[in-house]
Every structure is written in structure tokens, then in C-alpha cells.
Amino acid sequence: SIREMFAWVGYINLVLTVFNMLPGYPMDGGRILRALLWWRSHSFERATRTASAMGRIMAVAFMAMGVIDYITRSHLGGLWMVFIGWFLFEASRASYLEVAMKEDLKGVRVGDLMQRDPATIDGRLSVQNFVDNELLRTGHRCYVVREDGEVVGMITPREIRRIERDAWPLIAVDTVMRPLSRMTFVRPDTSLADALRTMGENELVEVPVIVDGRLEGVLSRADVLAYLQTRSELRAS
């Protein structure tokens, strides 16, 4: 009946409300807990870490109860509890990592991490020679292309993959490079968070750092990841 349907919907909403108020981040109850911890410790990162840990503990508890329920009663509701617990665990972990990354990037500028002396290559060199004598031997992924002492572009394996291998000996690097005049770039004083957003929006692995038309360096995702990994290791110690 309609009355039973409304009663069932009301019961589901009540369960969801209670579940959402559990003190585990990123649920609303966990956000309240984080706010209280932040007020006490004056450390947003530490408060988020503690609230997220509570969220993961609750997630493991949900998964354990779901497994026990399924084994003892062969009840499909147990599998739903496992799924909810897994979802909560991943959401809690991802939320904390996002907050931790924002904290790690706060106050850091592109100029702090960029490569000031990137590898260079003559633009008139053939793609074949470039691959054989530079790319495969050095391990560098990104090269600045110069001609007559002037920076004219950048080249990475991404541009080379677009060329048929048979044509490599016949094509010069400057014909497949990304011209500097058409490249997305950042400045040394750009925040690292903004630079990462720019790289993500343009699907870039490396981005040139330019001031007044002059190349100052290159920022790569590998440099940023290495920095974040070091910060993470120091935080865990």
C-alpha cells in the first residue's frame, strides 16, 4: 500500500541520516568531528588525518559485519554492507590525500621545483639520431629544442610517437617539436597548485617556465611527484 511505501522510504532515509552522522570523514559526522579536532589542535591537516582514520576504521567494521552477515545468514544485505564499507574506505583515504596534497603544495611556487638547466637538443638533428643518441641513452623525457642558440620548442616521446618509425631518419626534430610560441606555459612565481591545474587541463606531462618570452626552466609531473613523496615520507616519520 501507499502507506507502507512511505513508511519504507522513511525508514531508508532515517538509516541514511544515521549512517551519514557517524563520526568518520568524509561523512557529515566526520566533518563535524574534523571541525572539533581542528578547533582543539589548530592543525587542519592533523584534524583531517584523525577524522579520516576514524572513517577507515568504521569502513573496515562495516565490511567485517557484512562478511559475517553473509557467511552466517547467506544474506545479500551483507554484500551491500561490504560494498558500502569499501566505498567509505576509499572515499576517506582519497579525501585525506587530497587535503594533504593541498597542504603540501601551499606556499610552493613553480620556481622552487622547476629544472633550471633542462636537457637541450639541436632542432636540425634527425628524429632517428635524437632517439638513438639522446632519448634512449640519457633517460631524459623532455628536451628543449635550440637553433642558432635560440630556444624554439620542446620535444618529448609523445611527439615522436605520432611519426611512423620508417620516417624517423628523414624528419628533423624541429618539424615534430611543439613550437615555443604555441605552448602553454607558467611563470616561476605561479603557485604549484595552479601549475598542476594547468597541466591537467591541457594534458601536459611537462610545461615550460617562461618570463618575458625567455625560457627559465621546465616543470614536470615527475618533479612534483618526487616532492610530494618526500613530504609524505617526512610526514609519516
Instruction: Work out the average pLDDT over 180-197.
Output: 87
What pLDDT, on a 0 to 100 scale, did the predictor assign at position 16?
A: 66
Q: Is the dihedral of CA 31, 35, 38, 43 positive or negative?
A: positive
* pLDDT at 3 (0 to 100): 72
Name the pLDDT band for 187 (thresholds 50, 70, 90).
very high
Q: Which residue did the predictor score with more confidence, 95 or 185? A: 185
Query: What's the rounded Cα separation, in Å, for the pair 57 and 155?
Result: 47
pLDDT at 237 (0 to 100): 53
Q: How far apart are CA 25 and CA 49, in angstroms?
A: 9
> Across the chain, what does the average pLDDT equal?
82
Q: Does 26 sit behind a cis peptide bond, omega within 30 degrees of 0 on the bond before it?
A: yes
The proportion of the chain whose per-residue pLDDT surpasses 90, expressed as a percent, equals 12
The amino acid sitting at 203 is E
To which H or E segment does residue 127 belong? helix 127-130
Distance CA 70, CA 60 (A): 15
- Of the segments 57-66, 84-93, 163-172, which one has the largest average pLDDT value? 163-172
* Per-residue pLDDT tens over the stretch 22-76: 777 777 777 787 788 878 887 777 777 788 888 888 888 878 887 887 788 766 6
Residue 129 pLDDT level (bands cut at 50, 70, 90): very high
Closest listed residue to residue 157, CA positions, set 180, 176, 175: 176
Q: Which residues contact 200 (CB under 8 A, 6 or more apart)?
A: none
* C-alpha of 180 from chain center: 26
More confident call, 220 vs 2: 220
